[in-house]
């Protein structure tokens, strides 16, 4: 089930959303799906799914990124969001949006930072900050659309109660 979601998200992000870029930046649906799974299911799932999603994204990115970079970033985000889950139960949907925005922005910043550290075709600092802001916002806008189906699927398959 998670694989199906991952494939769908990747297809959407690579084929459909380049045409829907805001100011030249695409939303990061893969990150959103990681956050959604982490919120729905907890830190372990967030970690595992984040790793798998990041690894697949890295493999698809070709020479642009070192393989493993997105895996590291997304598993951290997945774990962090999953850990924040108990604090969010009972909060309204706004909390989900906030988490999505912060999570996505953090993912972009981490990716940029790692690129600089590992000296792999690093984008310039200003671009990273701009990307983090725009992608964070765009992801927050799309968060409800991604979160609802993912949460529904998660409850159906694991039976855990979900946030929001």
Partner 1 sequence: MLVSLVLLTLDYRQGETGVLAALQRGALTVFGPVQEGFAAVVRPVGGFFGAIGDLASLRAQNEELAADNEELREQVASLAELLQENAALRAQLEMRERLQLTTTGARVFAQPPGSFSYSRLLDVGAEQGVRVGQAVVNADGLVGKITEVTANNARLQLATTPSEGGYAVRIAETGEVGLLSGRGRNPYRFVLQNPEAEVERGSEVVTQMFGGTAIPDGIPVGIVEDSGGEPGRFLTVRPYVDFSSLDIVQVVLNAPEIPADLPQGALVPLEPAPRPDPPQPSRRTTAPGSAAPGTASGSPSETRS
Which chain residues interact with partner 1 by CB under 8 A? Answer: 10, 13-15, 18, 21, 24-26, 28-30, 57, 60-65, 70, 108, 111-112, 115, 121-124, 127, 131, 135
For residue 22, what are the β-bridge partners?
25
**What letter would DSSP give residue 84?**
H
Q: How many CB atoms lie within 10 A of CB 160?
A: 13
Q: Which is nearer to partner 1, 28 or 76 (CB)?
A: 28
In the complex, the smallest distance separating the C-beta of residue 153 from partner 1, rounded to whole angstroms, is: 21
Nearest to 96 by CA among 147, 27, 156: 147
In the complex, the smallest distance separating the C-beta of residue 148 from partner 1, rounded to whole angstroms, is: 22
Return the beta strands (E) in 1-113 as ranges. none
Cα 29–31–32 angle (5° rounding)? 60
In the complex, the smallest distance separating the C-beta of residue 68 from partner 1, rounded to whole angstroms, is: 13
In the complex, the smallest distance separating the C-beta of residue 74 from partner 1, rounded to whole angstroms, is: 11
Q: Which is nearer to partner 1, 15 or 156 (CB)?
A: 15
Return d(Cα 42, Cα 51) in angstroms, integer: 14
Q: Are 103 and 31 in contact (CB under 8 A)?
A: yes
Q: Which is nearer to partner 1, 44 or 124 (CB)?
A: 124
Q: Are 32 and 146 in contact (CB under 8 A)?
A: yes
Q: Which is nearer to partner 1, 57 or 154 (CB)?
A: 57
Q: Which is nearer to partner 1, 43 or 115 (CB)?
A: 115
In the complex, the smallest distance separating the C-beta of residue 147 from partner 1, rounded to whole angstroms, is: 19
């Amino acid at each position: 089930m998670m694989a199906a979601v991952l494939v769908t998200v990747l297809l959407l992000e690579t084929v459909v959303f380049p045409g829907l870029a805001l100011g030249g930046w695409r939303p990061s649906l893969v990150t959103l799906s990681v956050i959604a799974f982490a919120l729905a299911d907890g830190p372990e799932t967030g970690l595992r799914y984040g790793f798998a999603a990041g690894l697949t994204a890295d493999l698809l990115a070709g020479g642009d990124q070192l393989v493993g970079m997105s895996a590291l970033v997304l598993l951290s985000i997945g774990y962090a969001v999953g850990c924040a889950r108990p604090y969010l139960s009972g909060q309204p949907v706004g909390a989900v949006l906030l988490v999505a925005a912060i999570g996505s922005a953090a993912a972009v910043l981490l990716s940029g930072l790692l690129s600089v550290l590992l000296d792999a075709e690093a984008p310039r600092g200003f671009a990273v900050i701009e990307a983090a802001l725009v992608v964070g916002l765009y992801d927050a806008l799309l968060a409800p659309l991604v979160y609802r189906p993912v949460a529904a699927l998660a409850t159906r398959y694991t039976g855990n109660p979900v946030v929001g």
